[in-house]
Structure formats: structure tokens, C-alpha cells
């Protein structure tokens, strides 16, 4: 083995702790092969992008729908040669303690690539590498888009050393390479360099930047800005998940050809198609029985049934209309207890209070009376096989700060108490949200405001649901095949 085999990442970014001695292959040989092929190679890494920390520090005006139980890693990419990290991005980087010249939001020439070399997350219910369009100029206006570009590389489709010959195998804690580029020729040259350094072509994933719908480039102020986020949810071993976030066993390379090349741009790749034709609608009668059982149990209280709608727009819709997507993934459906879908054109890092006044016009608040609470109920989409993982989160409506997450692991058996004689109760769930659970099981106590980690008594709130990854399609379920989750607010009658 060469002296630099089993390279470890020697720096930590956006977080604490140094990388462990984890073998991610002969990175130095890979870099040398790229340089010998006429590329300039700049090295970056991964960073823990903590939305709540940035909000609490006053760097961001909102938490933007953070998922409180998911820690987002982001590629930290060196800027283009001759360019600096300035403005709000510089503030973010400094606030999170990064001294290296890197940025989480970057522009790219059509003949460049950004390459991840490292380990996948340890075993968890879901993980993905998700590529986003972050900023775009429409006319003279720069807008925040935060919309996915194409499909994710997720735990059901990723190619790693643990997934030989394209089989599913073991995608967790395995070495992988992911190439973000718009150009076929660049991709092929990167693959050849990786193979010469001992990496198998079977572990390389290409995430196409579809140039036909993008403004590639680094010199023009109208160039699009991109990001790649890694999200892992519900680790089988919580400590292993924390260690992965802290140690970030990967590097990120910006690869630039030294001489101009003839472009051979990728076409827009085919997307994985949502939907199987099988729906959950046979459970509608059972869900109505559950609704009536909930209302009957709390008949002495005032009941306000909250609306449910699709929360976030589709990524392609965001790009075409220039509206803010708030970081959805194609691997999920998003619902919330609001009567309309978020659909606003915003500047980068918007103050949400200026764009979503309807969240305050009809506010739902949660007091500390023991007879004031919210019942969340619906179909357990994991039990029906429509998703592999789901959760719901309570959010403060002013800054979209998530303060606690309930997952499908908490759902089992919760509907049987309401429908003891219904065999389909196993496909349903009921959960309570309150300030004081008073000993009730299957109940989440909403904390008071504590630097964004809680919600004040007079602060409006909403519930949001995430439904991840249908196994049959390896992407998000179809909205037309799921039964929407629901919520009812109860409080004392006057």
C-alpha cells in the first residue's frame, strides 16, 4: 500500500471534531491522475449546515423549515480561481467557524465538476445526496430558489463498494464517489482518473447538471448558484450518526480543465416516476371512523379542524416560475396544516414574515391549559408501504422553526384505542401535541421559546408532514396516491 493510501480528512469544517482514520481510498493518487490529465484540483470538504444555529446567531432571519432531527451536511467547495467568498455567504461561513476559503453555494463552468469522495452515512432510515439550484437572476432580480435539480442519489440507488454490480447490497458506511457536472467528457475523464487510482467504476455516481435549464458559468453575474446537501435521518445507532456528522469522512474536489475543451453536454436525465397505481383510498372510511372517534372522545371541548394542503412546490415549478422552494427533495411529499401551498418569489435568505402573512392572519396557537391541545392523525404511510419513512414536526409560523419531530416509529398501535374493533386501525395513527401532556402517552410537549428551539404561547404554529421514498419507485410517493394527514385543535368551550 502506498504511504497515502487510506487518506484521512485532516480538517473539520462547520462543526467540531476531526475526521477519524477512515479509509476512503487513494485520494492523493486520484488527485495526481487528474492533474496529469490537465486539470487544476482544489480541495474542499463537508460542513454541518445548522439552520437553527445561524438563526439564533442573527445571521439568518429564519430557520426555513429545519427538520429538527436531521443534521444537514453540505458540500464546501473552493470558489472559482480569482473569486472570493463575500457577502452573506462570508457571514455564514464565519459564523460557523470556517476559516478555509470555501463556500456552500457555488457557481460552475459547464466544463468543470465538483466531486465527492468519501463514506456514506451509517445505517439509517433514509439518506441522500441532493443537488439544488440555490440562486438565479430573473431580469434584474436575484431570487432564492432552493429547488432540486433532477433526482437524488439516495440509499436505494447509490453505487458504493458495498453495492457490487449494481445490486442494492449495503449502501451504508461505504466508500463512494459522486460527480456533479454538466459535461459527459469531463465525467468520463474523472472516471478514468479514479480508476487509475484504484477506485472501481462501479462506485461512481454522476449527478447531472442539466445545462439546458441552467445558466452555467462563473464570470457572469447572471450565473446560477448550486449546492449539494447530504441528509441522513433516523440512524440505527444514534452515536454512529453523531460521529459521522462530527467527523465528516469525505473530501470535495473542484476540478477545472487547464485548457478549453469541446463541450459534450448531458441531456436532461430521465426522472424516476412517482406512483405505482396503488392508492391508500380504501382507508378513507376507516379514517372517517377515526375522525369521529377523536371528536367523540373530546366532545366537551371546542374542535377546530385544520386544513391540509401540499406544503412545497415541485422543483421544476420553482425554477420555471422563479419561486422559493425551501429545499424539497424529489424523494418526499410535503404536507402542512395550512390552506395553500407556499408560493412566493423571494430574495436570497428571505425574512419569511414579509411573504407568508396568511400564516399569521388565521393563527393557531397553543396555550398551556391542559384542555388545549392538537390531535394529529392519519394513515401510517409506512404501514401501507407507500413510504419508507415519515415524520411530522411542529413549527413556529413566524420563522418556520421546527421544535420536535414525531416519526412513524411512534405510530404503531396508537389508533387501536380509538378503533378497537377495526382491523385496519393498524394502518392509522393518532398523536397528541400539547404544552402539558399530563401523563398521556403518545404525546409531544411543545417547548416554550428558547433561542428558536421552542414556540411561545402567543406565537402561531403549524404542523408539517414529510413522507419519504417509496421503495417500488425509489423516489417520493405520488400525491395522487396518498391520503393526506390531518390535525384537529381542541380548546375549552367558552
Q: What is the mean pLDDT of residues 468-482?
A: 98
Give the pairing of strands 389-396 and 461-468: antiparallel
Question: Judging by DSSP bridges, how do beta strands 428-434 and 443-445 pair with one another?
Answer: parallel
Residue 19 has pLDDT above 70, yes or no: no
**Are residues 63 and 401 in contact, defined by beta-carbon separation less than 8 angstroms?**
yes
Q: Is 224 exposed, middle or buried (0-12, 13-18, 19+ CB in 10 A)?
A: buried
**Mean pLDDT, residues 329-340:** 96
For the ranges 90-94, 316-320, 490-494, the maximum mean pLDDT occurs at 316-320
Residue 89: partners with Cβ closer than 8 Å, 6 or more residues away: 103, 104, 105
* Beta-bridge partner residues of 43: 253
Cβ neighbours for 400, distance < 8 A, ≥ 6 positions apart:
62, 63, 64, 65, 66, 326, 352
Percentage of residues in the chain having pLDDT higher than 90: 81
When mean pLDDT is compared across 69-78, 350-359, 479-488, the lowest value belongs to 350-359
CA atoms within 13 A on the CB side of 289: 18
Q: What is the pLDDT of residue 108?
A: 97
Q: What is the CA radius of gyration of the chain?
A: 23
- What is the bridge-based pairing of β-strands 301-305 and 486-492? antiparallel
Average pLDDT over residues 397-420: 95
pLDDT given at position 183: 98
pLDDT value at residue 164: 60
With 60 as the cut, is the pLDDT of residue 35 above it?
Answer: yes
Residue 9 has a pLDDT of 41
How far apart are alpha carbons 44 and 346 in whole angstroms? 29
Count of alpha carbons within 13 angstroms of residue 383, beta-carbon side:
20
pTM of the model: 0.93
Please determine, for residue 353, whether its predicted confidence score (pLDDT) is greater than 70: yes
What confidence tens digit (pLDDT) does each residue in 46-55 have? 999 999 999 9
Q: Are 404 and 268 in contact (CB under 8 A)?
A: no
pLDDT of residue 165: 58
Backbone dihedral angles phi then psi of residue 398, each to the nearest 5 degrees = -70, -45
Through-space distance between the first and last CA atoms of the chain, rounded to whole angstroms: 77
Q: What are phi and psi of 283, to 5 degrees?
A: -95, 5
* Element at 490 (helix H, strand E): strand 486-492
Concatenate the DSSP letters of all residues of 370-410 into one string.
TT-EEEEEEE-TTTTTS-SEEEEEEEETTTTEEEEEEEGGG
Higher-scoring residue by pLDDT: 478, 5 = 478
Summary mean pLDDT of the chain: 91
The secondary element (H helix, E strand) that includes residue 148 is strand 141-148
pLDDT band of residue 5 (cuts 50, 70, 90) is very low
Give the single-character DSSP code of 139.
T
pLDDT at 167: 62
pLDDT at 161: 87
Contacts of 58 (CB under 8 A, 6+ apart): none
| Confidence category of residue 358, pLDDT binned at 50, 70, 90 | confident
Considering the chain, what percentage of its residues have pLDDT values greater than 70?
Answer: 94
pLDDT at 22 over 80: no
Q: Give the per-residue pLDDT at 168.
A: 63
| 307 vs 453, more confident | 307
In this predicted structure, what is the pLDDT of residue 1? 33
Span 421-445, average pLDDT: 96
Does residue 459 contact residue 365 with C-beta atoms inside 8 Å? yes
Question: What's the pLDDT at 10?
Answer: 38
Between 94-108, 188-202, 267-281, 475-489, the lowest mean confidence (pLDDT) is in: 94-108
Question: Nine-digit cell at 171?
Answer: 449502501
Residue 452 is predicted with a pLDDT of 78
Segment 213-234 shows an average pLDDT of 93
**pLDDT band at residue 4 under the 50/70/90 scheme:** very low
Amino acid at each position: 500500500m502506498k504511504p497515502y493510501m487510506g487518506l484521512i480528512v485532516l480538517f473539520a469544517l462547520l462543526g467540531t471534531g476531526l475526521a477519524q482514520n477512515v479509509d476512503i481510498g487513494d485520494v492523493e493518487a486520484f488527485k495526481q491522475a487528474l492533474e496529469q490529465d490537465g486539470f487544476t484540483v482544489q480541495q474542499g470538504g463537508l460542513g454541518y449546515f445548522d439552520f437553527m444555529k445561524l438563526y439564533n446567531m442573527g445571521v439568518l432571519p429564519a430557520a426555513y423549515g429545519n427538520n429538527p432531527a436531521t443534521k444537514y451536511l453540505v458540500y464546501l467547495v473552493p470558489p472559482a480561481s480569482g473569486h472570493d467568498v463575500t457577502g452573506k455567504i462570508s457571514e455564514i461561513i464565519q459564523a460557523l467557524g470556517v476559516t478555509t476559503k470555501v463556500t456552500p453555494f457555488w457557481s460552475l463552468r459547464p466544463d468543470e465538476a465538483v466531486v465527492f469522495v468519501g463514506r456514506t452515512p451509517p445505517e439509517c432510515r433514509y439518506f441522500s445526496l441532493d443537488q439544488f439550484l440555490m440562486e438565479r437572476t430573473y431580469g434584474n432580480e436575484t431570487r432564492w430558489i432552493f429547488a432540486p435539480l433532477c433526482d437524488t442519489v439516495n440509499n436505494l440507488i447509490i453505487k458504493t463498494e458495498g453495492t457490487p454490480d449494481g445490486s442494492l447490497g449495503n449502501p451504508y458506511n461505504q466508500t463512494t464517489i459522486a460527480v456533479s457536472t454538466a459535461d459527459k467528457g469531463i465525467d468520463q475523464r474523472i472516471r478514468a482518473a479514479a480508476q487509475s487510482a484504484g477506485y472501481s467504476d462501479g462506485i461512481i455516481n454522476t449527478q447531472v447538471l442539466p445545462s439546458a435549464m441552467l445558466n452555467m458559468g462563473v464570470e457572469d453575474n447572471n450565473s446560477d448558484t448550486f449546492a449539494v446537501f447530504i441528509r441522513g435521518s433516523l440512524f440505527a445507532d444514534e452515536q454512529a450518526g453523531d460521529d459521522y456528522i462530527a467527523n465528516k469522512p469525505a473530501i470535495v474536489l473542484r476540478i477545472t480543465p487547464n485548457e478549453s475543451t469541446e463541450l459534450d453536454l448531458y441531456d436532461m436525465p430521465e426522472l424516476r416516476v412517482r406512483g405505482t397505481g396503488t392508492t391508500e383510498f380504501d382507508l378513507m372510511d376507516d379514517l372517517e371512523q377515526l375522525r369521529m372517534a377523536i371528536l367523540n372522545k373530546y366532545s366537551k371541548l371546542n374542535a377546530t379542524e385544520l386544513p391540509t394542503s401540499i406544503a412545497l412546490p415541485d422543483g421544476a415549478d420553482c425554477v420555471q416560475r422563479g419561486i422559493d422552494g425551501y429545499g424539497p427533495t424529489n424523494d418526499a411529499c410535503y404536507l402542512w396544516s395550512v390552506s395553500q401551498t407556499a408560493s412566493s418569489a423571494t430574495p436570497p435568505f428571505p425574512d419569511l414574515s414579509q411573504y407568508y402573512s396568511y400564516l399569521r392572519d388565521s393563527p393557531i396557537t397553543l396555550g398551556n391549559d391542559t384542555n388545549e391541545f392538537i390531535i394529529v392523525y392519519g394513515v401510517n404511510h409506512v404501514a401501507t408501504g407507500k413510504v419508507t419513512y415519515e415524520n411530522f414536526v411542529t413549527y413556529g409560523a413566524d420563522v418556520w422553526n421546527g421544535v420536535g419531530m414525531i416519526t412513524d416509529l411512534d405510530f404503531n398501535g396508537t389508533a387501536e384505542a380509538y378503533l378497537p374493533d377495526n382491523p385496519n386501525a393498524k394502518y392509522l395513527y393518532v398523536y397528541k401535541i400539547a404544552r402539558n401532556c399530563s401523563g398521556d402517552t403518545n404525546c409531544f410537549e411543545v417547548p416554550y421559546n428558547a433561542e428558536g428551539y421552542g414556540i411561545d404561547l402567543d406565537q402561531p404554529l403549524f404542523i408539517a408532514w414529510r413522507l419519504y421514498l417509496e421503495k417500488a419507485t425509489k423516489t417520493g410517493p405520488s400525491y395522487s396516491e396518498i391520503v393526506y394527514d390531518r390535525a384537529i385543535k381542541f380548546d375549552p368551550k367558552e
